[in-house]
Structure 1
């Protein structure tokens, strides 16, 4: 039995966009970046029990009890009014679940999936839970065939990755900008640790994918194409996925930024190919 718990925003029993093949996707609550382009801003913070969301719930699915917001799933209409009213960008609908409870969810989905992906928020902000979950899967007779992937922003320390490497099959990391100051502007932090994480995982053959988020007029990939391409080539045969920015779910100034179209993405893809990057994954659709 493993009672290690985590704050979990959502569990998707089946996903075909969170890694290769069919996967169960587990979204943890909480993130250590503040990306202007975040499509799930309500996963950034943990609920602090302020109760600002309670009175505005049209279904009366929320209650404030002893400083904690309690969510009644049976009354909830999934209207997201609470998310819009939260001053700290948190979700009162996040659940605290144990490793054993999540294993139960995975067991029900196991006949239909090839693996699980833990995302967020940022999965590695709840590292002890992540370690315990992956270890439980690897030791489970009916689940050990499933691959365990992490969708991460790369902010985990090297010591943290060293703990995670033995129990995970791979990680997909985002590189939101090449220049450290541009990355700071877009995410609230420099990319120094992220670049180190990418190099470390590639060297240990655990880097499943590098993701570039293309934001017209904001991304600096083309501006630094020589340095960026040299960095990517040095990683070895790692797929590079170009994601096209769109406005869905964003807030603040990013709502005024132009969405990336097919021509924007192809221009970056052609530049990378011209600089020796061959394995490039393009968006399946553009919003």
Structure 2
């Protein structure tokens, strides 16, 4: 592995051996323990020079932090399943428990705070996390991004006016959110490459059919890249998707997506006839409670 001007040959060799073992044969219990030793324990997770110079090394550290939540930090992971505040914070907790190098710790604190602020719905918890980060962070670019995410979370939350958008539909016609005022709007943020998104499509189609003549518009907003516009159009046509099919102008960097702090899909948003956000993180079509919510709203 080449890392800038530096080669980490021992780390590269160990990772290559582990990858080869995984692909060549099914491992028995002894071999699995050896592989776990190679990939989870037998290397330095706090090498700041490699972290700055090697994308492969950064990927391995990220993967390590993700994997150990199911083993070393299983108690936190199990608690987070039923705790809406713990779930967004678990990555931050694990990073602080594993990363000791100051440079790397600053980065993972920023990354964990960024992700948690995008997911937290409890305002006091979000405020506390934000204030804690702002009080100690020094990286200008990180501070700017965290402030923007926090501002968006407070500006475009439930009961707030929804930001407008204007994106092209499947026929190239511009559709703006304000054009749909007077009806409820249920927005599905998805992409053709997203497996969980595609799993929701049959459920969404059923909901669309059930509420076809009600006071609601269904909008599917794709975050496929502009380079994949043809792929998106082909998928929509092949699957005969209904509702208003839109393509965001800059995938995840699109203004509407950024204002809702969306960093994972599928994501659903429910907006009222008055243009105010009913739910910035709405129930999925596969959740039976969505129909109950629609009926309670009188849709």
Structure 2 length as normaliser, TM-score?
Answer: 0.27
Q: Which has the higher helix share?
A: 2
Structure 1 length as normaliser, TM-score?
Answer: 0.28
Instruction: Tell which structure's C-alpha radius of gyration is larger.
Output: 2
Q: Which has the higher strand share?
A: 1
